[in-house]
A and B are shown apart, each in its own frame.
Chain A
Amino acid sequence: MKIIILLFSLFTFSFSISLFADDKFVEVAVGVAKKGKDKILIESFECSGPGVSLTQHREVVEIVRNDLSFYQHIFEVFSRNKAEKEINDSLNWAKRINDIIKEGFHFVVHLSCLPRETRVVVFQVNLNKTSMDSKVYRPVAVTRKDGHELSDLIFQSITKKSSVFKSQIIFASTKDATAKKMIKEIYMMDFDGFNLKKLTDHKGIAISPAFSPDNKKIIYSLIDSKKRIKNVALHELDLSTMTSRNILDNTGMNSGAVYSPDGKGVFLTQSYKGNADIFYYDLNTKASRQVTNNSAEDVDPSYRADGKVMTFLSNRAGRANIYTLDPSALEQNVKRISFVGQFNATPRFSPDGSEIVFSSWVDNMFDIYRIGVDGNNLVRLTKNYGSNEDPTFSNDGEFIVFTSRKVFSRSKAEQRIYIMTKDGEILGPLSNTLENCYSPRFSN
């Protein structure tokens, strides 16, 4: 009994000592990791034989290399040309795995040419398995589109997401303008600036183009020089037939139109009631529904992918600032997002709806900024790079295209389309052959 009590006392004593020892630990969270760049090795095997075109194979490989390198903030791309006889050994991953790990590669892309086909194998190092082993048809006359489709397949195999490689960009340009007459037409090019095409030929002023959700049509506004009374009318272009029609011609402004998510209508700015407000126009019923109703000017609608939130520009608080609302009813859930900046313009949602990119007038020029939809996390993306406007996200949310105006002299200034990563790393110009470009928009 005494022993039990003695042991019990000792236990209680030591317990109380530990209790009163000041030894609470503190846990600290580091937060979400930064994504490191994946190192990709592209191995090209130049085969020979009947039906095999080395030139075409090299073209395809070059397009794949350039396309993957576009994502330089995500990938580090290395390439090697290898001899045909090394093909079998190169596909023996069990034998090569240690060497690949030593070199630090995360993915190996194998491209070899077969008659009328390109064999594509993607090996994922950390899983020690191939994530793709396909033969992709290679036409007689290889186009850049074929290369981009192959790049997209490889990209999806690596990241499990779609890329921008199959996207187009539409914009307005004054290429046909003369000293006496201002002309703006709508153009289209691939995401990398290639394949430039002129879409309209009104010889008027065509502005603010936007793709339909299925990318088969384009909506834009036109000031028709042939008309006696000039207003800003809404036009729609069918890309399959290349025919354009006037769909809305109310008095005053009918501009800045974007399709609704279901493609059945458009949100646009109209001023036929005497003030610039945002309306929804049903393309089938031709009925109009007012979305904003304020004595101030409300312009530049852009909606989130689910269509439940719209962002727009308004000077209802005095200066041009960014707002959001629920577009399903009039002036519903209007919320101010930006509170600083002398003049904010062209707000555009990111594809995931979490951020808005816009331009703002600072230090006598425009620069691009990005802000969360709750008004937090305002960051500046451009600086000391000319006057930068009209930003818009790519369909995968990784890039932003915008126009940048650089003044060279009193009589010479150029406004080209540039592309940068979503964090502001400028990759370069896209519209090299056109001097004055406006309102770029990515396809969906």
Chain B
Amino acid sequence: MKNNLPSIFETLESWRVKSFYQSFSFHLFFLFLILAVTYIHFWKEEEEGRVIVPSIQVDVVSMPKFTLEELRKMDLDVSQDVAKEETKVDEKKEVKDENESEVKPTEVKDPPPAQIDDLLKELSKKKVKPSKIETKDNNKKIELSDEKREQLKRLALEGNKLMQGQAVEGLSDQQLQEEIEIYTAQLSSRIKNFWILPSYLIDRPLRTRIKIFIDGTGKLLSHEVLSSSGEAEFDQRAVQSIMKAAPFMIPHKDIVPRLLRGNIVIVFPL
């Protein structure tokens, strides 16, 4: 009996361990199955791609003021003006070896605050002089006229309360996605100006996809042909149109990591 006791314990112990491992494997397998299904679902979405095709909704309320030629010239001038201005931005460190498929995010300093000028320049031919941005000193007392003081007193008494507001810094996931979609749409409009094919290539059903890596200053770091059209000259012209369109607009700081990872793929032509 004494001799059997250790063997019983040993048996029990080995049975427990065995059960544990079996149970653990079983649970792990189900976890893997759930993750696999979820991954495949997302993977399919990626494979199909969220394709952004630039479009503008224009509600025509009167006959156009500018001719087609004038509009085209304006578009080209804006692209060239923006390109010239952005080459004045200080260059960051050279990042990578072009053969690397993944670009690790480098330390990126905060880019200058996004200016509404960038948007206005898309619409107007006039160069908008950047205005000085006045920063508020919270400790500084705001000097009000007597009239204003009275007005504020009255408002407070009527029940309108002035409170210090709060703002959440940074973008939510949805905002991030929207921001990157806006940026990519702008990229497309910019690159389109340089996307030119000779007559013998223009009617052929060719398609190429090029991944691009952009830093926080809008500088094109590198590119990678994800899928070739099969026609070397077509691919070469696509790459050239990207390089001629660079440098690009300064992106929102929150989307810079994704741009550095090469999350943007340019499709020619679609």
- In the bound assembly, the distance between CA atoms of A127 and B188 in angstroms comes to 31
7 pairs from A and B in contact (CB 8 Å cutoff): A5-B28, A26-B52, A26-B263, A26-B265, A30-B191, A33-B237, A340-B61
Whether the pair A31, B192 counts as a contact (CB closer than 8 A) is yes
Quick check: A33 and B50 within 8 Å, CB to CB?
A: no
CA distance A16 to B35 in the complex (A): 7
Q: Are A36 and B197 in contact (CB under 8 A)?
A: yes
Do A30 and B266 touch across chains, with their CB atoms under 8 A apart? yes
B125 to chain A, nearest CB (A): 16
CB of A27 within 8 A of CB of B63, answer no
Known contacts A19-B35, A36-B197, A124-B200; decide if A27 and B267 are in contact (CB<8 Å). yes
For residue B21, which residues in chain A have a CB less than 8 angstroms away from its CB?
1-2, 5
Residues of B within 8 A of A34 (CB): 195-197
Interface centre among B28, B50, B198, B258 (most CB of A within 10 A): B198
B134 in the interface (beta carbon within 8 A): no
| Contacts of A373-403 to chain B: CB distance below 8 A | 378-383
Q: Is the CB of A5 within 8 A of B24?
A: yes
In contact, B180 and A424 (Cβ under 8 angstroms): no
Contact B180–A26 (Cβ < 8 Å): yes
- Given A23-B261, A36-B196, A380-B64, A423:B52 Cβ within 8 A: no
* A425 CB–B CB distance under 8 Å: yes
Given contacts A25-B211, A28-B188, 18 further A-B contacts (CB under 8 A): A5-B24, A8-B25, A8-B28, A12-B28, A12-B32, A15-B35, A23-B261, A24-B46, A24-B50, A26-B180, A28-B265, A29-B52, A29-B54, A30-B268, A34-B196, A126-B198, A127-B200, A383-B67
B140 interfacial by beta-carbon distance below 8 Å: no
Across the interface, B53 reaches (CB within 8 A) one of A8, A31, A341, A425, namely: A31
Q: Report yes or no: B196 in contact with A28, Cβ–Cβ below 8 A.
A: no
Assembly CA distance A360 to B258 (angstroms): 49
Cβ–Cβ contact A30 & B195, under 8 A? yes
Contact A31/B269 with A25-B263, A378-B64 known, Cβ cut-off 8 Å: yes
> Which positions in B face A, CB cutoff 8 Å?
21, 24-25, 28, 31-32, 35-36, 38-39, 42, 45-46, 49-54, 60-71, 173, 180-181, 184-185, 187-188, 191-192, 195-202, 209, 211, 233, 237, 241, 258, 261-270
- Number of residue pairs spanning A and B whose beta carbons lie under 8 angstroms apart: 163
Chain B residues within an 8 Å CB radius of A339:
60
Bound Cα distance from A369 to B38, whole angstroms: 53
Contact yes or no, A380 B25, CB < 8 A: no
Q: Which residues of B contact A83 (CB under 8 A)?
A: none
Q: How large is the interface on A (under 10, 10 to 19, 20 to 34, 35 or more residues)?
A: 35 or more
**With A12-B35, A423-B69 in contact, is A36–B51 under 8 Å at CB?**
no
Name A4's closest neighbour in chain B (CB-CB).
Answer: B25
**Contact indicator A26/B50 (Cβ below 8 Å):** yes
**Cβ of B15 to closest chain A Cβ, rounded Å:** 14
Closest residue of chain A to B212, judged by CB? A28
CB distance from B231 to the nearest CB of A (A): 10
Report the nearest A residue to B265, measured CB to CB. A27
User: Which residues on B sit within 8 Å (CB–CB) of A423?
Assistant: 68-69
Chain B residues near A126 (CB, 8 Å)?
198, 200, 233
Q: Are A36 and B198 in contact (CB under 8 A)?
A: yes
A contact residues around B52 at 8 Å (CB): 26-29
Which residues of A (396-444) have their CB < 8 Å from a CB of B? Answer: 423-425
Q: Nearest 3 CB-CB pairs, A to B?
A: A29-B270, A27-B49, A33-B197
Bound-state CA distance A423–B36 (Å) is 54
Which residues of A are interface residues toward B (Cβ below 8 A)? 1-2, 5, 8-9, 12, 15-16, 19, 22-36, 38, 74, 106, 124, 126-127, 158-159, 339-341, 360, 362, 369-370, 378-383, 423-425
Known: A5-B28, A22-B173. A74 touches B199 (CB 8 A): yes
A342 to chain B, nearest CB (A): 9
Closest chain B CB from A198 CB (angstroms): 35
Within the complex, the shortest CB–CB distance from A111 to chain B, in Å, comes to: 21
| Complex Cα spacing A33 to B205, Å | 12
Contact B263 A23 (CB under 8 A): yes
Are B267 and A38 in contact, CB atoms less than 8 angstroms apart? no
Instruction: Tell me the bound Cα distance from A340 to B241 in angstroms.
Output: 37
Known: A5-B21, A35-B199, A360-B63. A28 touches B266 (CB 8 A): yes
Q: Give every chain A residue within 8 A of B197 (Cβ-Cβ).
A: 33-36
Chain B positions within 8 Å of A382 at CB level = 67
Chain A residues with CB under 8 A of B39: 15, 19
The distance in angstroms between the C-alpha atoms of A15 and B36, with both chains bound, is 9
Tell me, rounded to whole Å, the shortest Cβ–Cβ distance linking B34 to chain A.
Answer: 10
For residue A1, which residues in chain B have a CB less than 8 angstroms away from its CB? 21
B181 touches A380 (CB 8 A): no
Which residue of the partner chain A has the closest CB to B263? A25
Q: Whole-angstrom distance between the alpha carbons of A379 and B270 in the complex?
A: 24
The residue that B263 contacts in the complex, of A19, A24, A378, with Cβ under 8 A, is A24
C-alpha gap A382/B69 in the complex (Å): 9
The answer on a CB contact under 8 Å between A38 and B35 is no
Residues from chain A with Cβ under 8 Å of B51 in the complex = 27-29
Known A-B contacts A28-B188, A38-B199; A424 and B67 likewise in contact (beta carbons under 8 Å)? yes
Most buried by B among A9, A30, A32, A379: A30
